[in-house]
Structure 1
Amino acid sequence: MTGITLATAQAQLDLWVAADAAVSKNQSYSIAGRSLTRADAGEITKKIDYWQRQVARLSARASGRSRVRYIVGE
């Protein structure tokens, strides 16, 4: 992923986390039989996961570690 810096990745992550907080309340509503959905919460979650991985990868690279390992708990 050329051209993406740690600062850019962190900024994107921050924006997606803010978007998640914004749509957590009143994501959709109906008036007189018409509905409006503001955003796809599932897509926001995917973007947050993506940018978290990018931040972790770029942080590891910046600190000299070549590999990022994830530990999945039960």
Structure 2
Amino acid sequence: MPRMSLEEARAMYKLWHDAEIALATSKSYSIAGRTLTRVDMPIIQERKKYYGRIIDELESGRRRTKVRSITPFDL
């Protein structure tokens, strides 16, 4: 995960949370003849989960480790 401060991660989480609320009210809208279509809900939820994990990691002071499988073989 990229290194960022806890404040940055919280700001990004709030941004995606606000996007989720905005999407719940309408999918698209028009202003002065221009139309804006919001991003899809699965993308918003994925980004919220991503920044939530970063926040948890930074608050706990631990980094997640990835476990990879190892397949032994004979030469």
For Structure 1 versus Structure 2, the TM-score category normalised by the shorter chain is 0.5 to 0.7
SS, match of residue 60 in structure 2: helix
The match for 1:5 is 5
The normalised TM-score by structure 1 is 0.65
Q: Distance in 2 between matches of 1:41 and 1:15?
A: 14
Alignment of 1:1-74 (within 5 A): 1-28=1-28, 37-61=37-61, 66=62
Q: Which amino acid counterpart does residue 9 of structure 1 have in structure 2?
A: A
Listed as ranges, the gaps of 5+ residues in structure 1 are 30-35, 69-74
> How big is the shift at 1:3?
3.8
**Identity across matched positions, percent:** 33
Q: Which amino acid counterpart does residue 60 of structure 1 have in structure 2?
A: S
Relative distance call for 1:40 and 1:7 in structure 2 (3 A) is same
Larger Rg: 2
Listed as ranges, the gaps of 5+ residues in structure 2 are 30-35, 65-75
Name the count of aligned residue pairs.
Answer: 58
The alignment's C-alpha RMSD in Å is 2.3
